[in-house]
């Protein structure tokens, strides 16, 4: 094939794939701006006859979606802060501080990655019930404060910190706490951004655990509220698309802003095997 | 030792959290799966009885459990190869020497991965609508009669597979892209000097260089796909005629709808053992193929 013909074919394929992939998301946005009932037609309309924010008004007004949005923001932020605290400290210690049993504990943690989280879910529910944490924000975030993957992510990055740097600080008389905050944390910043975005997105998008641990409607996160809403409003396509836009847009925007860091996390994760 | 003390101060909080909220529940799940933990035991723990392997025995005789297992196996057996194929094809296109705007294409193709599953499942439920859905409209243009995607037991699982491939292929595409970029360029130079065509380059350079990545990615994807839950929960509620009840969906209903926590824990363990067994099998087959 001539290089020119090959280039045209290649780009035609790429464009077709990209349009096909983006189509559901673009159409979701378009339908969310249609007046009620317009999307239930054949052939399905591509663009609204006249764009309206009525669906969004109804979601925030009658359906009180603001409350769920608030819950999602609070829970995802809380989970992110906690995960940064617990995993950055442990990840650094596993990489750079010698202590008895370090290798054995770390190997045990890595081996435990093969256990699906759902195996722990039923007793975890009983444990949280016993602790009085069912139906609270804490019930959603506490079990995930520290995670094996988070520790691994930070550790792999912290391994690149030169030992001489830490030794020099010790010789200068700096305490371990001071070394962690003044030297280690600034160096770890890029991987902490990665960990933060992974945790935020993971908590925001999570479905099964909040579905189990939250039964009080006032505490629902957006995905739970959306799943309930979609069972009540089977025919209201425009309204449901608006709800989907509100759920997807924040995480999509966050990803686009911090893409580089997110991709790094995937690549570190993929060499763990 | 000062360092030793600091190290323990730094790892203990995380280890405690993982111990209490992960390892302890996993061990408890094993114990609970050997009891008849149900609504009565939930009300008063004295109603709890140890029943050995009876939960496992009952599950293995339950047609509903086997159906859930078969549905999940269908999802994995069709979904994993399709996903890997889509990921690899997308990575090869984006990585092609002639391709321009690679970063833009990469971001677009990856976007579904970060979206909220429940939200895009709602969107797809509408795309797949029998009367107003775009998919049936597109098919009508080439003369295919409307398909009741989510209402027909034969089509519901294929529809969910299609959705899952769309949602997930970008993730492995990123991993394949990184692997493709680490293949030395002079390998291709040498092949071209020898007069190899595109297919031969792919067959004798690209594919062998990707072997380790392919194995890793297929194991991770397989383990992930066995955990199918939210898609049927939102799109079909397990129907029509139980055709999309997955193992985890079955576990969720058994545990949190009927409160048979003993039996539900047994389901969780059987799923875990299944994933473990298939992973081991994959590793073994690959090792044998490499040795041959």
Residue B253 has pLDDT above 60, yes or no: yes
Q: A177 — contact with chain B (CB < 8 Å)?
A: yes
Q: What is the pLDDT of residues A11-23, one digit of tens each?
A: 999 999 999 999 9
Return the bridge partners of B35, or none: B50
Interface of A with B in 19-78 (CB under 8 A): 21-25, 27-28, 31, 39-44
The pLDDT score that the predictor gives to residue A43 is 81
Q: What is the pLDDT of residues B16-43, one digit of tens each?
A: 999 999 999 999 999 999 999 998 888 8
**pLDDT band for position B290 (50/70/90)?**
confident
Which segments of chain A does DSSP mark as H helices, in order? 3-32, 54-61, 65-96, 102-112, 118-130, 137-141, 148-158, 163-171, 176-179, 185-205, 208-213, 222-232, 237-257, 259-269
Residue B112 domain flag? yes
Taking an 8 Å cut-off on Cβ atoms, the answer to whether A14 and B178 are in contact is no
Taking an 8 Å cut-off on Cβ atoms, the answer to whether B114 and A252 are in contact is yes
The pLDDT score that the predictor gives to residue A40 is 85
Residue A273 has pLDDT above 60, yes or no: no
Choose the mutation target among A12, A267, A270 for the interface with B, i.e. most B CBs under 10 Å: A270
Q: How far apart are CA B211 and CA B191, in angstroms?
A: 19
B122 to chain A: which residues are within 8 Å by CB?
226-227, 230, 240-241, 243-244
- Burial of B73 (C-beta count, 10 Å sphere; 0-12/13-18/19+): middle
Segments forming the whole domain that contains residue B190: 55-291
Stretch among A71-75, A85-89, B17-21, B209-213 having the lowest mean pLDDT: B209-213
Q: What is the pLDDT of residues A203-214, one digit of tens each?
A: 999 999 999 999
Residue with tokens 């298939």: B278
Q: Are A148 and A195 in contact (CB under 8 A)?
A: no
Number of domains composing chain B: 1
Closest CB to A244 among B120, B251, B261 = B120
Mean pLDDT of B230-255: 94
CA distances, A189 to each of A167, A267, B131 (Å)? 21, 17, 51
Q: How far apart are CA A258 and CA B75, in angstroms?
A: 32
Q: Are B167 and B117 in contact (CB under 8 A)?
A: yes
Return the bridge partners of A182, or none: none
Q: Which residue has the higher pLDDT, A89 or B100?
A: A89
Residue with tokens 């609970």: B32
Residue B24 domain flag? no
Yes or no: is domain A56-269 CATH 3.30.420.60? no
Residue B271 has pLDDT above 50, yes or no: yes
Residue of B225, B256, B59, B224 lying closest to A123 (CA atoms): B256
The pLDDT score that the predictor gives to residue A37 is 87
**pLDDT band for position B2 (50/70/90)?**
confident
Mean pLDDT of B112-117: 96
Average pLDDT over chain A, rounded to an integer:
93
A188 to chain B: which residues are within 8 Å by CB?
none
Mean pLDDT of B184-198: 88
Q: What is the pLDDT of residues A191-238, one digit of tens each?
A: 999 999 999 999 999 999 999 999 999 999 999 999 999 988 888 999
User: What is the dihedral angle through the alpha carbons of A138, A143, A145, A149, rounded to the nearest 10 degrees?
Assistant: -150
Residue B231 has pLDDT above 50, yes or no: yes
Beta-carbon contacts of residue B194 (< 8 Å; ≥ 6 apart) = none
Residue B5 domain flag? no
Mean pLDDT of A43-61: 91
CA distances, B152 to each of B156, B240, B279 (Å)? 6, 6, 32
User: What is the dihedral angle through the alpha carbons of A157, B22, B238, B123, rounded to the nearest 10 degrees?
Assistant: -30
The pLDDT score that the predictor gives to residue B196 is 85
| Domains of chain A by residue range | 56-269
Q: What is the pLDDT of residues B115-168, one digit of tens each?
A: 999 999 999 999 999 888 899 999 999 999 999 999 999 999 999 999 999 999
Residue B16 domain flag? no
Mean pLDDT of B37-60: 91
Taking an 8 Å cut-off on Cβ atoms, the answer to whether A146 and B256 are in contact is no
CA distance B132 to chain A (A): 5
Residue B142 domain flag? yes
What count of other Cβ atoms lies within 10 Å of the Cβ of residue B127? Answer: 24
Closest CB to A90 among B2, B14, B248 = B14
The pLDDT score that the predictor gives to residue B99 is 87
Residue B89 CB-half CA count within 13 A: 14
The pLDDT score that the predictor gives to residue B3 is 85
Choose the mutation target among A24, A133, A143, A147 for the interface with B, i.e. most B CBs under 10 Å: A24
- % of chain A beyond a pLDDT of 70: 99
Mean pLDDT of A80-101: 96
Mean pLDDT of A123-129: 95
Q: What SS3 class is residue B50?
A: strand
The pLDDT score that the predictor gives to residue A132 is 96
Residue with tokens 């600034």: A186
Residue A272 has pLDDT above 50, yes or no: no
Handedness of CA B261, B264, B270, B273 (dihedral sign): negative
Q: Which residue has the higher pLDDT, B292 or B243?
A: B243
Residue B258 has pLDDT above 90, yes or no: yes
Q: How far apart are CA A77 and CA A81, in angstroms?
A: 6
Residue A1 has pLDDT above 70, yes or no: no
The pLDDT score that the predictor gives to residue B154 is 95
Backbone angles phi, psi at A18, to 5 degrees: -65, -40
Closest CB to B233 among A99, A125, A227 = A227
Q: What is the DSSP string of B204-226?
A: IIIHHHTHHHHHHHHHHHHHHHT
Residue B1 has pLDDT above 80, yes or no: no
């Amino acid at each position: 094939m001539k290089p020119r013909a090959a280039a045209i074919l290649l780009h035609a394929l790429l464009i077709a794939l990209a349009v096909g992939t983006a189509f559901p998301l673009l159409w979701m946005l378009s339908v969310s701006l249609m007046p009620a009932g317009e999307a239930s037609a054949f052939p399905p309309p591509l663009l609204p006859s006249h764009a309206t924010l009525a669906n969004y008004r109804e979601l925030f007004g009658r359906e009180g979606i603001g409350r769920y949005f608030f819950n999602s923001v609070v829970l995802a932020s809380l989970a992110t802060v906690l995960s940064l605290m617990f995993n950055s400290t442990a990840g650094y210690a596993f990489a750079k501080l010698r202590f008895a049993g370090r290798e054995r504990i770390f190997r045990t943690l890595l081996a435990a990655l093969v256990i699906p989280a759902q195996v722990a879910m039923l007793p975890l529910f009983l444990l949280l019930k016993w602790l009085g944490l069912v139906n609270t924000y804490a019930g959603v975030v506490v079990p995930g404060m520290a995670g094996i993957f988070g520790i691994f992510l930070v550790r792999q990055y912290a391994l690149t910190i030169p030992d001489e740097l830490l030794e020099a600080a010790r010789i200068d008389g700096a305490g371990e706490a001071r070394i962690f905050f003044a030297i280690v944390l600034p160096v770890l910043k890029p991987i902490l951004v990665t960990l933060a975005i992974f945790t935020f997105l993971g908590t925001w998008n999570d479905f099964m655990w909040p579905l189990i641990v939250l039964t009080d409607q006032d505490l629902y996160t957006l995905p739970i509220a959306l799943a309930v809403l979609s069972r009540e409003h089977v025919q209201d396509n425009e309204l449901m698309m608006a709800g989907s836009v509100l759920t997807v847009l924040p995480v999509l925007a966050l990803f686009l802003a911090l893409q580089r860091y997110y991709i790094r996390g995937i690549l570190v994760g993929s060499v763990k095997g | 030792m000062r360092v030793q003390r600091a190290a323990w101060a730094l790892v203990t909080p995380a280890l405690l959290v993982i111990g209490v909220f992960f390892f302890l529940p996993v061990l408890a799940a094993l114990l609970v799966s050997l009891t008849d933990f149900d609504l009565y035991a939930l009300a008063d723990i004295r109603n709890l009885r140890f029943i050995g392997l009876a939960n496992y025995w009952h599950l293995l005789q339950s047609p509903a459990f086997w159906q859930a297992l078969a549905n999940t196996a269908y999802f994995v057996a069709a979904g994993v190869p399709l996903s890997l194929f889509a990921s690899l094809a997308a990575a090869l296109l984006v990585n092609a020497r002639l391709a321009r705007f690679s970063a833009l294409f990469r971001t677009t193709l990856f976007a579904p991965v970060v979206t909220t599953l429940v939200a895009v499942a709602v969107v797809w439920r509408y795309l797949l609508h029998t009367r107003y859905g775009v998919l049936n409209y597109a098919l009508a243009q080439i003369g295919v009669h409307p398909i009741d995607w989510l209402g027909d037991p034969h089509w519901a699982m294929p529809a969910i597979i299609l959705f899952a491939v769309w949602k997930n292929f970008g993730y492995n595409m990123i991993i394949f892209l990184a692997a493709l970029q680490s293949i030395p360029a002079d390998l291709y130079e040498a092949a071209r000097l020898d007069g190899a065509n595109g297919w031969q380059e792919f067959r004798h350079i690209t594919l062998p260089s990707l072997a380790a990545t392919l194995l890793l990615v297929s194991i991770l994807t397989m383990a992930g796909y066995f955990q199918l839950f939210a898609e049927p929960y939102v799109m079909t509620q397990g129907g029509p005629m139980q055709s999309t009840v997955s193992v985890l969906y079955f576990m969720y209903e058994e545990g949190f709808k009927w409160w048979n926590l003993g039996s539900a824990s047994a389901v969780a363990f059987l799923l875990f053992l299944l994933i473990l067994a298939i992973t081991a099998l994959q590793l073994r087959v690959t090792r044998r193929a490499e040795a041959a």
